[in-house]
Amino acid sequence: MPRNARVAPGMSAVVSRYRETNYNHGRYMATGACTNTMRESLLILNGPNLNLLGTRQPEVYGRETLGDIEAHCTQVGQGFGIGIDFRQSNHEGEIVDWIHEARTKHAGIIINPGAYSHTSVAILDALLSVDLPTVEVHLSNIHQREEFRHHSYVSRAAKGVICGFGSLGYILALQALAAEIKSRNQQAMAQA
Ligand code: DQA
């Protein structure tokens, strides 16, 4: 982690553990008495059409590009000592494959499934299969919009849902999962 990275309140324990350990592809082995393998990276998934952010209906989705959001998430993730794997796909099956892969690679998932939120039982089933803490994010407030956007299949697998705050929603989701990871790590250490 860069020396000048900001550490969010409440995350000092996780960050100092990060400093003491050997970070390797989103995992680390604790160097002290606890030898559990800790997964310290998050998968951030973006569904169809989100690659067009910045020019796509800016009055609804804002002017930030997906690249801007990725850069911000990566920076905030560094502050928490958490690696970010940020991806986008227009293909449902590819998103399902990435969720499966996350099972052994990541500590949690943030997902903006785009239009698949409202249609995809396959993405819901994939999330239910991997048992990782998941936060669903929408840039827009889907409940203020057309009725077909009010229901999300994905929400059934999500620990929480954040919508209507634009790109800030990704950062709020990251904070929520960082707290979740911290508490899981503390429990694992206590049991070791
Ligand atoms: C969205 C909302 C969805 O209804 C829509 O299909 C999207 C983006 C959002 O971020 O607000 O593609 O997930």
131-184 pLDDT, tens digit per residue, is 999 999 999 999 999 999 999 999 999 999 999 999 999 999 999 999 999 898
Give the separation between CA 38 and CA 82, rounded to whole angstroms: 11
128's CB contacts (< 8 A; 6+ apart) are 156, 157
CATH at residue 141 = 3.40.50.9100
Containing domain of residue 78, as a range?
A: 40-191
Does residue 96 belong to any structural domain of this protein? Answer: yes
Does residue 60 belong to any structural domain of this protein? Answer: yes
Annotated catalytic residue, options 18, 28, 61, 170 = 61
Taking CA atoms only, the protein residue closest to ligand 1 atom 13 is 114
From the alpha carbon of 163, which atom of ligand 1 is closest?
11
138 a catalytic residue:
yes
61 a catalytic residue:
yes
Tokens 């990541």 belong to which residue? 106
- Please count the structural domains in the chain: 1
Does residue 21 belong to any structural domain of this protein? Answer: no
Could you report the per-residue pLDDT of 51-90, keeping only the tens digit for each? 999 999 999 999 999 999 999 999 999 999 999 999 999 9
Give the separation between CA 16 and CA 139, rounded to whole angstroms: 33
- Which uninterrupted H or E stretch holds 183? helix 168-191
Give the separation between CA 125 and CA 12, rounded to whole angstroms: 35
Check residue 18 and give its pLDDT. Answer: 32
